[in-house]
């Protein structure tokens, strides 16, 4: 007898793959949901993986345009900058992901939603407040706050052992010495060797921005056209290139900014539960 249906925010990685199998062990039917918000991801491989692990359904949703129009533009208009520097690229993406998760849960008649956010970070708050705001009666399963789960999986080694035992494909590439969260707005890096504030971020860490020392000395001249306070067109004056959809405008501006070394920051943030995190 099933305990009910859960919509799991799934990434295809080790943690959420183990959570998928664990939820099934607990007696739930699991629907996996993967949001495309511009991260570099093999969505087809993630879908096959979820299906092979017993997901009842797999949803892969392209939310890139919504992310720009409904979340990034309003955040920029509101001047939503954390401690004068951080443009909240990870924070702003979470309500975008959770909004669609709730839509799927309602449509599929699921009573539960689940996520793989840790019990010590900010993402759990962002996901859950969004879910409760849009689906007040939903029940949230947060495995990393459930003693049976976190006592069983005390670290990556336990997850790897569980994965091998249950036929979950495990990562073959060595783990990066930091963790990374990417979307079309930004990439944030934390933990590992970055925990020591004395350590500089290694040069090969940056994927979206060139080192200012290596960026061109010639400027790109851009004209941006606004309507009702929102960019509707960008033109590269020299090259004659133009973009006119929200997603294309934003992606192009990020590309030009990155080429010129714009947008690198190094910040220690205050987490909701009181920890500091670089």
C-alpha radius of gyration, the chain, whole number: 20
Instruction: State yes or no: is 199 an active-site residue.
Output: no
> Which member of 15, 181, 220, 248 is catalytic?
15
Show the CA angle centred on residue 274, arms to residues 269 and 278, nearest 5°.
25
Distances 1 to 5, 21, 172, 183, 258 between C-alpha atoms, Å: 12, 17, 36, 39, 53
Determine which one of 179, 191, 199, 245 is catalytic.
Answer: 179
Residue with tokens 């133009």: 242
Give dist(CA 59, CA 42) in Å, integer: 14
Asked if 123 is an active-site residue, the reply is yes
Catalytic residue (one of 29, 64, 94, 188): 94
Q: For CA atoms 246, 104, 101, 186, give the dihedral sign.
A: negative
Is 94 annotated in the active site?
yes
Catalytic residue among 11, 29, 99, 123: 123
End-to-end CA distance of the chain: 45
Pair 38, 158: CB distance under 8 Å? no
CA–CA separation, 130 and 57 (whole Å): 23
Distance CA 97, CA 81 (A): 20
Question: Ramachandran region of residue 190, left (φ > 0), alpha (ψ -120 to 50) or beta?
Answer: beta
Q: Show which residues are catalytic.
A: 15, 94, 123, 179
């Amino acid at each position: 007898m099933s305990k009910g249906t859960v919509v799991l925010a799934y990434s295809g990685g080790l943690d959420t793959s183990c959570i998928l199998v664990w939820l099934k062990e607990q007696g739930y039917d699991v629907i996996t949901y993967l949001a495309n918000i511009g991260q570099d991801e093999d969505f087809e491989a993630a879908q096959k993986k979820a299906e092979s692990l017993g997901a009842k359904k797999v949803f892969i949703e392209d939310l890139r345009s919504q992310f720009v129009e409904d979340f990034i533009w309003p955040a920029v208009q509101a001047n939503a900058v954390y401690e004068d520097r951080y443009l909240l690229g990870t924070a702003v993406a979470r309500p975008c992901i959770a909004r669609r998760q709730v839509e799927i849960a309602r449509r599929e008649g699921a009573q539960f939603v689940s996520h793989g956010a840790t019990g010590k970070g900010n993402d759990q708050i962002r996901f859950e407040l969004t879910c409760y705001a849009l689906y007040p009666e939903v029940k949230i399963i947060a495995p990393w706050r459930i003693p049976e789960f976190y006592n069983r999986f005390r670290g990556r080694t336990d997850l790897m052992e569980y994965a091998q035992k249950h036929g979950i494909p495990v990562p073959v590439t060595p783990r990066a010495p930091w963790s990374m969260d990417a979307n079309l707005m930004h990439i944030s890096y934390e933990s590992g060797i970055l925990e020591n504030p004395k350590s500089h971020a290694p040069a090969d860490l940056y994927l979206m921005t060139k080192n200012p020392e290596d960026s061109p000395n010639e400027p790109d001249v851009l004209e941006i056209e606004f309507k009702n306070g929102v960019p509707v067109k960008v033109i590269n004056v020299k090259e004659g290139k133009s973009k006119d959809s929200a997603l294309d405008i934003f992606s192009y501006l990020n590309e030009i900014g990155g080429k010129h070394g714009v947008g690198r920051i190094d910040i220690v943030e205050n987490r909701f539960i009181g920890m500091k995190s670089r």
